[in-house]
Amino acid sequence: MLREADIVETLRAGGFLRPGDDPKFERLAGGVSSDVFRLETSQGVYCVKRALAKLRVAADWRAPVERSHYEVEWLRTARSLVGDQVPRVLFEDAQRSVFVMEFYDPRTHGVWKQDLADGRVDIDVARQVGALIGKVHAGTAGDLQVAERFPTHDLFEDLRLSPYLRQAARAHPDLAPRLLALADRTATTALALVHGDVSPKNILCGPDGPVLLDAECAWYGDPAFDLAFCATHLLLKTIWRPAHAPAYIAAAAVLHEAYLAQLNWEPAAQLEARAAALTGGLLLARVDGKSPVEYLVADDERAFVRGAARRLIESPASTMADLRMRWRELYEAR
């Protein structure tokens, strides 16, 4: 209860809770990097999130709690561009890394990952996710004022580039030059506001479309990262649930197409080449990085991903369509 008591004190001190209000807390599932609760007060139902200094993963993984503030900044910025597809922030105590946002009832807002796992692959959701990410990128591309609000280069390195690409390079020394070059190029690309964790587990599907959560990795950098990160998740689902493999690939295609419709800050071919190369690296990182996907446990599944990723790193696809085609060919020949 200690954590809840701390949060209550923070919310009282900041005036979010009325004196004497005794809120009810219910811990939400997920929450690897934060404490996330449903909070019920006399005023309504909310979601409160507090960043943890030590992540709940097998490896000892610490991350500065200041990332909470950049999540809030991302939510505010993105909401100004895409409206209700991103939760409204209602309160923040940046010093204590606590914030409150709107709560989405799980009865009306399921997690996209669960829908995908169950074979409910709604192409419309994929389309809306692609458009959502594309709008945030297009709306922030080349905007120095936004860039200044996200001095998160080191955080992104610690949360994403190092545990994924650089860790995979340590596991595969022969691929290290390519993986490290990929990480370095990503680190030095500063084009738009990146979410950094566009994963189906961070997307809720509601009656008004998808809602994107969990922006702790927000960074002003390479928009190709978001497209690649999400594509990686959809491709890995083909191994997890082979029965729905064609639907996942179709979802990735539609998401990509909707994303491209928003792209106006650089030639599509440039962004595509970076995204396709990154996807190869991230696929490998999701089996041999610091944060492997929890659903690929069988040796042959992991070996397939390792082998396919290796090919996509050694000779990168030039477009996302090419990458999906090659994945499908390897997948069908396995």
Do 33 and 215 meet the contact criterion of CB atoms below 8 Å apart?
Answer: no
Q: Which stretch binds Mg ion (CB under 5 A): 168-176, 199-207, 220-228, 270-278?
A: 199-207
The token pair at 69 is 């503030």
Piece of 29-37, 122-130, 132-140, 267-275 that binds ligand ATP (CB under 6 A)? 29-37
Residue 110 found at the interface with ligand ATP (CB under 6 A)? no
CB nearer to ligand ATP: give 30 or 64. 30
For Mg ion, the binding residue among 10, 68, 140, 202 (CB under 5 A) is 202
Q: Contact, 278 vs 181, CB < 8 A?
A: no
- Among residues 4, 216, 226, 272, which is the contact residue for ligand ATP, using CB under 6 A? 216
> Least Å distance between CB 28 and ligand ATP?
4
Per CB under 6 A, which region of 26-34, 152-160, 176-184, 299-307 contacts ligand ATP? 26-34
Q: What's the burial of 85, exposed, middle or buried (CB within 10 Å: 0-12/13-18/19+)? A: buried
Q: Does residue 260 belong to the site contacting ligand ATP (CB under 6 A)?
A: no
Per-residue binding string, Mg ion, 208-227, x by CB under 5 A, is: ------x-------------
Nearest distance from C-beta of residue 49 to Mg ion, angstroms: 10
| Minimum CB distance to ligand ATP smaller for 33 or for 167 | 33
Nearer to Mg ion, 9 or 102 (CB): 102
Contact flags string 79-98 toward ligand ATP, x per CB under 6 A: --------x-----------
* Segment interacting with ligand ATP (CB under 6 A) among 13-21, 144-152, 212-220, 318-326: 212-220
Does 32 sit near ligand ATP (CB under 6 A)?
yes
Provide φ and ψ at 27, rounded to 5°.
Answer: -70, 135
Query: How many of the other CB atoms lie within 10 Å of CB of 57?
Result: 14
Nearer to Mg ion, 294 or 299 (CB): 294
Report the residue number, 72 or 271, with the smaller CB distance to ligand ATP: 72
Nearer to ligand ATP, 30 or 209 (CB): 30
* Site of interaction with ligand ATP (CB under 6 A): 28, 30-34, 36, 47, 49, 87, 101-104, 111, 201-202, 213-214, 216
